[in-house]
Amino acid sequence: MDLSTRPRSKLSSVGLGGSCPNRNGDSLFAVPGASLDDLRASRGADESKADVLQRLRANIAMIERGSFSPSPHPVTSSQSAWTLGETEIDRLLGGALDEGALHEVKAEGHSTGVTAGDWVSALGFALRLGVRRLEGLESASSQSVLWCWTSQFARELGTPYGHGLAALGLKPSAWLLAETARTSDALWAMEEGLRSQSLALVIGVLSEAELTPARRLSLVAAEHSTPCLLVTDPRLTPAGSTATRWRVGRYASAVHAYDTSAPGAVRYRVMLERCRYRPLADAPHPLELEWSDETHRFHMAAAVADRAHAPRRAGTHAG
């Protein structure tokens, strides 16, 4: 991956510094430092190109026969399934997220527009998916994450913050940041990062990804067995060629175990709008998920856990 041909891009790694993050505000943004060495390192693909093509052809054949049973990326000795840790939502995924595919996260939109808080909810959820991804990998050589976005988002939301990432369970030194002037440059950096085969995950924060760029990212992710997360503007058209699409909204935090006046565990209102490998049997419905800082996994929020499997209201059907 040669970034010298893209002078408008700025690539760096995350360092520790700045002020202390807010306990429940997902303050995970600050100023980074720099290095390209990790991105240029190569750990080799888990599958050969021929194996990937053979698997994709077999999946297409099963889809055409109507007998496709989801088997995201094969689990090898160096990796385990990429799940959320919550049985209810993992069941909707067919067991796990596809580790060689494109996934999209969108904030919940409102009639009054989209606020910075909405964006932060979507980003916080995406970062926690990143935690789940990294903890599912046993190989220490594949822990690097590439974060790509435009300067516009960096100015509006701030840059990933080392102490915040560390508090979340992420190693700041493993993060590489690519800040670009244009969306096309960010998409290029994401594609090259996926091709490098040295990353555990690529995350892109963009207004939107049109059909052709999204298709390219999806194909490269599958070819090189590296997942890609897109966080996009909820007001714009969803990206094509995604394995899953998530709609994430803000939700009141849990009550603190020792101080009722303090915020407790972070919660999200999450809806799985699309799942390529297991079409939803009915209309998507929101789930209130709670993140555990101790176990680094999602759980159903306590207030709704008992009704996770409640029957649908009369008249509810697939859209």
Residue 281 CB coordination number (10 Å): 9
Radius of gyration of the chain (CA): 19
Task: State percent of the chain over pLDDT 90.
Answer: 46
Edge-to-edge strand ranges of the sheet holding 267-275 = 10-13, 175-180, 145-150, 201-206, 228-232, 102-107, 244-251, 267-275, 287-292, 297-300
Would you say residue 226 has pLDDT above 90? yes
- Pairing type for strands 287-292 and 267-275 reads antiparallel
Q: In this predicted structure, what is the pLDDT of residue 302?
A: 72
Sign of CA dihedral 166, 170, 172, 173: positive
Q: Phi/psi class of residue 186: alpha, beta or left (left: φ > 0; alpha: ψ in -120 to 50)?
A: alpha
Model confidence at 261, pLDDT cuts 50, 70, 90, reads confident
pLDDT in tens, 155-209: 999 888 899 999 998 999 999 999 999 999 999 999 999 999 899 999 999 999 9
Would you say residue 20 has pLDDT above 80? no
Give the residue with greater pLDDT, 256 vs 274. Answer: 274
pLDDT in tens, 276-292: 877 766 667 888 999 99
Q: In this predicted structure, what is the pLDDT of residue 74?
A: 42
Which of 2-16, 87-101, 226-240 has the lowest average pLDDT?
2-16
Q: In this predicted structure, what is the pLDDT of residue 91?
A: 87
**Beta carbons within 8 Å of 216's beta carbon, 6+ residues apart:** 187, 191
Domains of the chain in start order, with CATH, are 3-307 (3.40.50.300)
CA pair distance 180, 161, nearest whole angstrom:
18
Which of 80-94, 130-144, 173-187 has the lowest average pLDDT?
130-144
Residue 25 CB coordination number (10 Å): 14
CA pair distance 260, 271, nearest whole angstrom:
28
Would you say residue 233 has pLDDT above 80? yes
Backbone angles phi, psi at 229, to 5 degrees: -110, 130
Please report, for residues 131, 179, 204, the alpha-carbon distance to residue 292 in angstroms, rounded to integers and kept in the order given: 12, 30, 25
Q: What is the mean pLDDT of residues 78-83?
A: 71
Please report, for residues 22, 51, 86, 304, 311, the alpha-carbon distance to residue 143 in angstroms, rounded to integers and kept in the order given: 26, 24, 23, 34, 41
Question: How much of the chain is in helix, strand and coil states, percent to nearest 5?
Answer: 30, 20, 45
- 298 touches 128 (CB < 8 A): yes
The model's pTM is 0.73
Q: In this predicted structure, what is the pLDDT of residue 23?
A: 43
pLDDT in tens, 24-78: 455 555 534 434 444 344 444 445 677 767 667 666 655 544 444 444 444 433 3
Q: What is the mean pLDDT of residues 214-221?
A: 96
CA pair distance 245, 106, nearest whole angstrom:
8
Model confidence at 141, pLDDT cuts 50, 70, 90, reads low
Q: In this predicted structure, what is the pLDDT of residue 283?
A: 66
Model confidence at 17, pLDDT cuts 50, 70, 90, reads low
At 98, is the secondary structure helix, strand, or coil?
Answer: coil
CA pair distance 247, 233, nearest whole angstrom:
11
